[in-house]
Structure 1
Amino acid sequence: MAAPELAQTEPEGIEGVRMTWLNWPRSKVEASKCVIPIATSIQPIRPHVDLQILPYAPLRCKTCSAVLNPFCRVDFTAMIWICPFCFQRNHFPQHYNSISQTNLPAELYPNFPSVEYLIPNYQNSQNFNQSSPIYLFILDTCMIEEELEFAKSSLKRALGMLPENAMVGFISYGTQVQVHELGFSEMSKVYVFRGSKDISKDQVLEQLGLSVSGGRRPGPGMHKGGGGGGPSPVAGAGPGINRFLLPASECEYTLDSLLDELSTDQWPIAPGNRALRCTGVALSVGSGLLSASMAGTGARIILLVGGPCTEGPGSIVSKDLSDPVRSHKDLDKDAAPFFKKAVHFYDELGKQLVNQGHVLDVFASALDQVGIAEMKVAIEKTGGLVVLSESFGHSVFKDSFKRIFEVGGEQSLGLAFNGTLEINCSKDIKVQGIIGPCTSLEKKGPSVASTVIGQGNTTAWKMCGLDKSTCLTIFFDVSSSEKSDPAGPSSQLYLQFLTSYQSSDGQMRLRVTTVTRRWAVGSEDLVQGFDQEVAAVIMARLASYKMEMEEGFDATRWSYDALSVFNNSPDETAYFRILLNRETISNAVVMIQPSLISYGFDSLPGPALLDVQSIAADRILLLDSYFSVVIFHGMTIAQWRNMGYQNQPENQGFAMLLQAPQEDSQLIIRDRFPVPRLVVCDQHGSQARFLLAKLNPSATYSNAQDMMHPGSDVIFTDDVSLQVFIEHLQRLAVQAS
C-alpha cells in the first residue's frame, strides 16, 4: 500500500547538478530578459553507485588547471588532449601511453561526468592520527536537572558511537567556562575562564599552557584544580593539547564519569533574572583550544545550548526577565540593542574557525530563543549543522544528534571536512557567487563577474564541513555580445566543479564533475529547457538572501509563502533559512510547498491538493512539510481504529490501510536531517492544527455552506483562499492592461 509517489526520483543523476535553464541565453542582452537567473544547484559529494574512484592523481591543463574530462578532444596518435575551457593543447604523461579509442581511462568515459580521485601518498606522508577528526563537545549547564540529564545521556551514547581514533574534548559552561582535562583519569582537572569578558585565541592558548612559548602555568583570570601525570602525547596534536583531546577509545570511561558528576550551574540567580549563560565565551575558548591542533585536521565544535546568552560577548538579551528576547518587529525598528554586536562577534568567530578549517554545529533545545539568528553567520560560514527543538528529551533532538555520529550505511550523513570548491567555466561565462554553507577564498580570475550574489568575487570557496546532502546554489552571468554565432563551433558551454575534501576516515579526495549544456537558439529553445522546481527553490534562496542584505526589500513581490516571517521568532526564521540554503532541491521544494498523500479503501495512495477539501471522514492523509510529518485520520477511520476493527481477521484491509502511512512516514524520517517531528492525530483533535495550518482555507466559517463536502472540515480563519487570491490577481491584471 506504500505510495509510489514517495519513491524519490533523482533528476540530479551522477552529476549532482540541476540548473534553472538547461539551455543558456547566448548573450548578456538575452540573459537580462530572463526573470529567473542563470543558476546551478550542486551537491558536491553526492553519493552515487556509478561513481568511479580513481587511485591516482588527476591530469590538469597547464594553462587553466582544469582536469581531464570526457569533453576534451583527444589526439591518440600525437598523445595530446585539448582543454575545452581554454583550448590549450596538453601532452599526456608517460603512464598514459597505452590509451586508445578502445582503451580509454575512466576520466574520458562519456557516461562518467563525475569521477573521484584518491589523493595518493597523503596517508603515507602524515601520521594517520593527524587526519583523525576532532569532536569538541560544549555543554550548557544552565538548565533544569531533567534537561541536563537528557543532554548528558545523548552525549554518552554519542561517545560510544565515535570511531576509536576520533579525538574528543569536553567543555562545560554556565556563568563561567570549564575546560576539562581528559588526560588525568585519577583526578579531575579543570581550567576555569570568566564568562563576562571576551578572550582572544592567543589568551586561550597561553592560559591553557598550549602556546609555543607557554609553560604549564595558568594565566590570570582562571584557576585550575587537581593534578597528576598525563598520558603519552597523541599524534596529530600540538604541544600539550593531548591533555584536552584524546582518542575516544582512551577517554570514554573518563568522560562518562565526568558527565555522571556534572551538575547544573550552581551560580545563584537573583529573583526576576535569567540565568547567567556565557555561550559566546565558551565558543571562543573552544575555538582557541582547537587552534592548537595540527593544521589541516578536521574538527567540529558541537554546542548543546538550552537558553539565551546573557553574559559576556554574544549576549542576545539582558539578565532582567522583564526584557523580552528580540522579535522581528524589534529588528525592523532597530530596537534590539544586543543584536548587531552579537552578530559581529559571531562573524569574527566564524572567520577564525574558517581560517582553522573547523566547523560549528549547534543543537539548541529550549522553549525560548537561544541566539540562532546571531550565530547563523558562523554556522553557515563553516558549513555547520543546526537543530532546533523544544527539549533535549524530544525525538527531534535525540534522533538527529545520534545520526551525526553514524558512520557507513544509509543512515550516515557522510560528514566530511576541509572541503574546497573550485569552478572552471567556458570563456563567456562569469561566476557571480554562491548562496549556501561556504566562505569565499577570494581567488580572482577571468571568470569572476563584476556583480556579486552571496559569497562572490572568487572562483574558489572553503567548506569546513560538508556532507552528502550539502547543496550549493551558484549564480552565473553571461558576458558575450549579441554578435556571437549560436550555431558556430562553440555551440556548447562547459562547467567543471572541483571539490576536494577529507572523508571521515582521513582520506583526501577530489571529486571532479564536468557538465556541458547548449547555448539556446531563440526564446523557444530557452523555454523548453526550463526547470521549474529548481527555479522555485533558487528564487526562494535569492529572495531570502535579499531580505537579509537589502533594506526595504519587498518579499511579497517575490515568493511570500517561502519567506514569510509571520508567527516565527528570529531564531526559527534563521533556522529555516539555513536549511533552505543547504538542502537538496527536492527537500527545499517540500519546505516551500508541503506534499499531501491521501489513503483510502477505494483507491491506491496518491497525491492530494493542499486544501481543506482533501479532508474526508473515511480517508487518512500524510502531510510532509519537511520539519514535521503528520498522519491525519479522518473521523470515521479514527472511530473504527478506537473500536479495534483492525484487530479482527476479517478487517485485514483496514489494518493495512492504517499501516501504509505509518510505513511511508518512516521512509521520510529515515532519510532526513534534522529528523522531523512525527505527529499522529485525528480529525477534530487538538493536534489536527499541524495539518490545518498548511491547508488552503477554501472552506471557512464565512462560506461553509457553499464549499463543504460530506466529512470535510472548516478552517476558522480570515485568510483569503487561493481561489479568491487568484481571482483578485486576474482583476488586477485586466485593470493594468
Structure 2
Amino acid sequence: MNPVGYGAGSLPNDLNRSQPPILKPPNQQHQQGLPSASPQQPPLLQQQQQQQNLQQPRQGSGGPNAGIIAELSTSTPQTGTHKSKRMYPAGINAYSEPTPGYDITPNGGFQSAGVPGILSPQSTSAVKPMQPVTQGSQYFVPVENQQPTFNQPVPTYQQGFHPPQPNVNQLTNQMGTMNVTGGGFGSQGTTPMTTVALMGSAPKIIDLDAPPPAIALPTTAAITQSPYANCDPTYKRCTFNAIPATSQLLTKSRLPFGLVITPYRSVKEGDEPVPVVSDSIIARCRRCRTYINPFVKFVEGGQRWKCNMCYTLNEVPSSFDYDSQTQQPVDRWQRKELNHAVVEYIAPTEYMVRPPQPLVYMFIIDVSYPAIRCGMVATAATTILESLDRIPNDEGRTKIGIITVDSSIHFYNLNTPSGEPQMLVVSDLEEPYLPQPQDLLCNLSECRGTLETLLDRMKNMFKDTQNVGNALGPALNSAYKLISPIGGKILCLQASLPNLEAGALKNREDTKLLGTSKESTLLQSASSFYKSFAVECSKSQVCVDMFLFGSQYSDVATLSCLPRFTGGSTFFYPAFTAAKSEDGLKFANELAEFLSHRIGLEAVMRVRASKGLRMAAFYGNFFVRSTDLLSLPNVPRDQSYSIEISYDENLTIPIVCFQTALLHTSSSGERRIRVLTLALPVTTSLSELYMSADQVAIATLLSCKAVERGMNSKLDDARDALTNKCVDILGVYKTHMTASSSGATPNLQICDNLKLLPLLTLGMLKHVSFRGGSQIPSDLRSYAMHLMSTLPSQCLIPLIHPRFYSLHDMPEHCGTIGPAGIEMPQPMNLSSERLSRSGLFMLEDGQNIFLWIGRDAVPQLCMDLFGVPNYESIRGGKTTLPKVETDFNQRVNLIIEKAREMRRTVYYPQLYVVKEEGDAALRLWFLSHLIEDRAEPIMSYYQYLGYLKDRVKH
C-alpha cells in the first residue's frame, strides 16, 4: 500500500570654521553597502550580490529594499496543521486514471530552468528530466511507464485549435544562449550578456517576481554606505537602471524611458517604516531646490555641500550637526536624510499656506429605488457604522457629513440638542442651496452618538421608496459648498445613472459600436460637467471617490472623471446584490479598508531630474497644475503614477538622479514632505542599456500609455502600439546584439532580463482593457482601464499575468504557516495543458480568485475540500469556500486568504468555483485568463512569438 498523507508541517550649531572636523565616514563603512564597480569585482558579480542582498531578509524588518513582493506574515492559528497523517486504504491514493490531453506526465516531461513544460528533446535549451513527484503530494495521480507527449497537440477547450509546436529542425541549429560583450557600466573589463531564445520553451514565469536588474553604482556614489541609500523599487523604479547618455542612444534602443512612482506605498507588518526627520532642519539646494540626499558631496571641510542635480555649492544649515532638544552635538553621518533614499520631513510653517486641514469625509449616498432594491444602502450604512472606530481621528479633528439623494437632496443635522438626527430636504435642483450654514458637517467625536443613530436608521429609512430619480450633479455641488473651505473627501455611492439636472446622463451603451473603430467614443466622458467639477475640486483640495454599483449601465467612463482629476479612486461592482453574501462581503471589506487607510491630504508632487532631462508626460489620477507640478487633493495608499522622460540635452555626467518630493498633510494633521531619491549610472553602451532594462517597469509604463491612446484615439491604435513597441525592441536587439543582424533567424532572441516582455505584452492585449471583440461592455472596459493606469507594478503584473496554481498535488508544506507566512505553491504557466480532468487548480489576478475543479475529481477530494460526496454535488459560481474539518480544506483556505492579503491594495478578490462541465460563461471567463492559449481573436503565445518573429525579420 502506498498511503497518501496530509502534510503536518507548520507552517545643530554651525561647524567650527577655524577647526573644521574631519567628516569622512569611517573606513569600515566602505567595506559594505553599495557594490563596487572596480575591475577587481566584475559588474556581473555586483548584480548577483545585489540581487542576493535584495532577496535576503533582514532581522525584524522587510526593509524598503526587500524586493518587489513582500512575504506577509499572518496571525492565523495553525488549526489542524499538526494532525497525524491521514491514511487511506489501498487504491484511494490513485484518485483517477490519467486522461490523455489533460494530465501532465510526471516522469516523462522535461523542465527548463525550473519551470515544467513540454520541450523537444532535440532543443538546445538547457533541460533536465523532471523529478518524480513524491507519494506525499496531495491528490497526485501516478502515471506509470508513460512516454513524453512531445508531438501531442496542446490540450485546449477550444475545438479545432492546435497551437504550433516547436520546430525541431530550427531549434537543433539554434543556440539557446550566447554571450555578448559590453562594458561593465563604467568599469574596466567586460560583462557577459545572456541572450535567451524565446521560441521552443515555456516562459520562465517565476522571474516575474525577481528584482529588477542591479544598479551598478561605484562605492563613492553615496556619501554613506547605507543599504537604504538608493530608492527601493516598490517606491520608485525606472524602465532601465542605466541611463543612456544621449537622446540618440535612447532612440536607437527603442526602449521607453520613464519612472513608475508609488510615493505613498503601504507599510505592512514586517516592512520598515519611512524614517521621519523631526528636527525641522531641511537642507535644500538654493538653485534647483533639491533636498539633501545620500548622493550629495560635502566640501570645504564639511561646511558646504554640492548638489547632485545642478552641482551648486550650498551652505550646511547651522543646526545640521546639533540636537536642539538634547543640546548636544550629533553625528552627521547618522542623519536619516544622508542614509535613506526614502525619508519624510516634518514641514515648518513656511511650507503651509494655511493650518493643516483635518480629515473630512462627506458621503453622498444614492437612495433611489435601484439602490434600495440591490441592498447597497443598507450595506453601506452598516459598514460605515462599524468602521467609525477605524477612521483616522488621532487628534479628534476628523469631520463627517452625510447627504442622501434621489429626486431631492437630503441633508442631515448631526448636532441637534436632542441627539436625534434631523433631515433637511432641498427639492430645488436648479440652484441647490444649503438649508443651514452649520451643523451639516460635524466633528466625528462630538456627533458620534447622533451619527450612529442616523446610520442605524438609514438601513430602513427608504425601504418603501419608488423614486427612481438621481440628482447626483446638484448633490455634488452642495457637498462642494460644504467642504470646499476646508478640503476633504467626497465619497459617492451610486447604484443608478444620474438622470436629473446638472450632470444628467443617458444610457449610451450601443452594442453595434462594440468591437468597432468607434468603440473608443464609449470610453470618453459623455458630459463636460464632471471634468469641470473635478477641476474646481482640485483647486479647493477636494477629492472625489466613486463606488459604482451597476445593476445596469453605470457610465463608468464619465463618472470616473471625478477621481481621475482629483486623485481619487474608482470601485465598480457590476450586478451587485446584497442578497448574495459574497457581493456584500466584497463591498463591505473594500469600503471599510478604504475608510481606515491613512492617506495624504492637500498634496502637490514634483519630480526633479539631473540637468538634461525633463518630465514630458504624466499618467495617473491627478491634475497637472503647471508643467511639472501635480495637484493631488488626496494621495491614496498604493496608487501609482507613471512619468515619461525626455532629453533637453545630452548627458555629460556619470550619475543621474531623480528626486520626487511629495508635500502633503498626514491623516494625523502634520504637514510633511516625503522625498524619494533614485540614482542611476549613465552609459554610452547599447548592450549595457539592454542589460539594465526593467521589464516590469516597461510593462507598467506601456500599459498607461496604451490606456491613454485607447481612450483618446482608437483601441486598435493602442493594441498596435503595444505590439509595435515589442517588435521594435526585439528588432534592435537582433540587429545590434546578435550575430544574425540581418535576414531570417530561426528564433527570437532577447536578453534574459527582457525575456518576459512579449508575454506581458500579450497579457495586456488579452486583458479586458484592450481585448478585441464585441462582448465586453464599455463599463467593464472603462473600469479595467482605470486599474491599468493606477495600480502599482506589484498589483498590475498579476492583473495582466494571473498566478496559476495546482492544488490537488501541491507539496505538503504549501498552505501551512512557515517563517515567511503562509507557504504558497509554485506558480505555473498560464496554459490549459496544465489542467487535468481530475485536478483542482487556483487562478488569481488580484481582483478575482478562481477554483477550477475537473469533472473526474474523485469523491474523496470533493469531500475533503467542499464537504460534498461527489463532483455533481459541488455548487459552482460565486461562492465562499466552506470550512471543513480536514487538513486539505484548511490549507486551501489559508492559500486563498494569502492570495487576498499579499497585494498592496484595498481590493477584496471574490471567489468563483468553476466546474469543468458547469456554467459555460464562467468557464470561458476562467479560460480567458490562460493567456498562453489561443483566444479569439488573439493568438496563442507561440503564435504571437511567430508573428513577432515575422515582423522582426522584415
**TM bucket normalised to smaller:** 0.7 to 0.9
**Contact map agreement 1:359 1:383 (CA 8 A) in 2:** yes
Post-superposition shift, 1:553? 5.8
| Unpaired stretches in structure 2, ≥5 consecutive residues | 1-6, 12-54, 56-67, 72-208, 212-230, 324-328, 723-764, 815-824, 869-883
One-letter code aligned to 1:119 = A
Where do 1:125-136 residues align within 5 Å? Answer: 131-136=357-362
Structure-2 residue corresponding to 1:235: none
Cα distance change, pair 150–565 in 1 and its aligned pair in 2 (3 A): farther
**Among residues 358, 361, 364, which one is paired with 1:138 in the alignment?**
364
CA distance in 2, matches of 1:335, 1:694: 23
Structure-2 residue corresponding to 1:676: 909
Q: TM-score, normalised by structure 2?
A: 0.61
CA distance in 1, matches of 2:913, 2:210: 29
CA distance in 2, matches of 1:368, 1:96: 61
**Contact map agreement 2:660 2:676 (CA 8 A) in 1:** yes
**Among residues 842, 855, 859, which one is paired with 1:622 in the alignment?**
842
Structure-2 residue corresponding to 1:26: 245
**Among residues 542, 546, 556, which one is paired with 2:705 in the alignment?**
542
Post-superposition shift, 1:517? 0.7
Secondary structure at the counterpart of residue 617 of structure 2: strand
Post-superposition shift, 1:594? 1.4
Where do 1:447-466 residues align within 5 Å? Answer: 458-466=627-635
Secondary structure at the counterpart of residue 301 of structure 2: coil
One-letter code aligned to 2:378 = E
Where do 1:110-129 residues align within 5 Å? Answer: 110=339, 112-120=340-348
Cα distance change, pair 97–289 in 1 and its aligned pair in 2 (3 A): closer
CA distance in 2, matches of 1:341, 1:617: 46
**Contact map agreement 1:14 1:51 (CA 8 A) in 2:** no
Where do 1:544-693 residues align within 5 Å? Answer: 544-550=707-713, 554-559=717-722, 560-562=765-767, 563-564=770-771, 566=773, 567-601=775-809, 603=811, 605-637=825-857, 639-644=859-864, 655-670=886-901, 671=903, 672-686=905-919, 687-693=922-928
Answer yes or no: is 1:440 the counterpart of 2:636.
Answer: no
Moved more, 620-629 or 352-361: 620-629
CA distance in 1, matches of 2:606, 2:428: 42
CA distance in 2, matches of 1:511, 1:594: 32
| Unpaired stretches in structure 1, ≥5 consecutive residues | 210-215, 217-239, 269-274, 319-323, 407-412, 443-457, 700-714
One-letter code aligned to 1:85 = M
Structure-2 residue corresponding to 1:95: 319
Post-superposition shift, 1:633? 2.9
One-letter code aligned to 2:926 = L
CA distance in 2, matches of 1:49, 1:336: 43
CA distance in 2, matches of 1:732, 1:61: 49
Cα distance change, pair 583–436 in 1 and its aligned pair in 2 (3 A): same
**Among residues 581, 589, 602, which one is paired with 1:399 in the alignment?**
589
Larger Rg: 2
**How large is the RMSD of aligned CA atoms in angstroms?**
3.6
One-letter code aligned to 2:648 = S
Residue-by-residue CA offset, 1:600-650 (whole Å, 9 max, x unaligned): 4375732212111111134322211222111223344463233459999xx
CA distance in 1, matches of 2:656, 2:512: 44
Residue-by-residue CA offset, 1:670-699 (whole Å, 9 max, x unaligned): 344221222233432334444223225859
Cα distance change, pair 479–162 in 1 and its aligned pair in 2 (3 A): closer
Where do 1:142-541 residues align within 5 Å? Answer: 142=368, 143=370, 144-145=372-373, 147=375, 148-159=377-388, 161-163=390-392, 165=396, 166-184=398-416, 185-186=419-420, 188-195=422-429, 197=430, 199=431, 207-208=433-434, 240-250=437-447, 251-256=450-455, 258-260=457-459, 262-264=461-463, 266=465, 275-291=468-484, 293-294=485-486, 297=487, 299-317=488-506, 325-326=509-510, 329=513, 342-389=526-573, 390-391=575-576, 393=578, 394=583, 395-406=585-596, 413-442=597-626, 458-481=627-650, 490-541=653-704
Residue-by-residue CA offset, 1:394-434 (whole Å, 9 max, x unaligned): 1221211111122xxxxxx4322112111221111111021
Structure-2 residue corresponding to 1:55: 278
Question: How many residues were matched structurally?
Answer: 633
Post-superposition shift, 1:40? 0.7
Residue-by-residue CA offset, 1:159-186 (whole Å, 9 max, x unaligned): 4543553211111111122222222244
Post-superposition shift, 1:77? 2.1
Cα distance change, pair 337–326 in 1 and its aligned pair in 2 (3 A): same
Post-superposition shift, 1:106? 1.9
Residue-by-residue CA offset, 1:554-612 (whole Å, 9 max, x unaligned): 22323422422643322222211222111110211112121212234375732212111
Moved more, 632-641 or 163-172: 632-641
**Contact map agreement 1:631 1:662 (CA 8 A) in 2:** no
Moved more, 634-643 or 41-50: 634-643
**Contact map agreement 2:509 2:778 (CA 8 A) in 1:** no
One-letter code aligned to 1:693 = S
CA distance in 2, matches of 1:417, 1:89: 34
**Contact map agreement 2:805 2:827 (CA 8 A) in 1:** yes
Post-superposition shift, 1:193? 3.8
Secondary structure at the counterpart of residue 317 of structure 1: coil
Secondary structure at the counterpart of residue 695 of structure 1: coil
One-letter code aligned to 1:607 = P
Cα distance change, pair 180–430 in 1 and its aligned pair in 2 (3 A): same
Secondary structure at the counterpart of residue 452 of structure 2: helix
Post-superposition shift, 1:45? 2.1
CA distance in 1, matches of 2:522, 2:479: 22
One-letter code aligned to 1:362 = M
CA distance in 1, matches of 2:938, 2:657: 47
Secondary structure at the counterpart of residue 94 of structure 1: coil
Post-superposition shift, 1:140? 0.6
**Contact map agreement 1:43 1:469 (CA 8 A) in 2:** yes
Post-superposition shift, 1:6? 8.2
CA distance in 2, matches of 1:10, 1:719: 28
Cα distance change, pair 399–340 in 1 and its aligned pair in 2 (3 A): closer
One-letter code aligned to 1:431 = M
Secondary structure at the counterpart of residue 171 of structure 1: strand
Cα distance change, pair 414–655 in 1 and its aligned pair in 2 (3 A): same
**Contact map agreement 1:638 1:682 (CA 8 A) in 2:** no
Moved more, 518-527 or 72-81: 72-81
Post-superposition shift, 1:261? 5.7
Post-superposition shift, 1:436? 0.7
**Among residues 666, 691, 694, which one is paired with 2:929 in the alignment?**
694
Q: TM-score, normalised by structure 1?
A: 0.78
**Contact map agreement 2:620 2:789 (CA 8 A) in 1:** yes
Post-superposition shift, 1:733? 5.6
CA distance in 2, matches of 1:719, 1:728: 11
Q: Per chain length, whose mean CA-contact separation is higher, i.e. which structure has more relative contact order (CA < 8 Å, sep 6+)?
A: 2
Cα distance change, pair 244–326 in 1 and its aligned pair in 2 (3 A): farther
CA distance in 2, matches of 1:247, 1:315: 32
Secondary structure at the counterpart of residue 679 of structure 2: strand
Post-superposition shift, 1:469? 0.7
Cα distance change, pair 192–160 in 1 and its aligned pair in 2 (3 A): farther
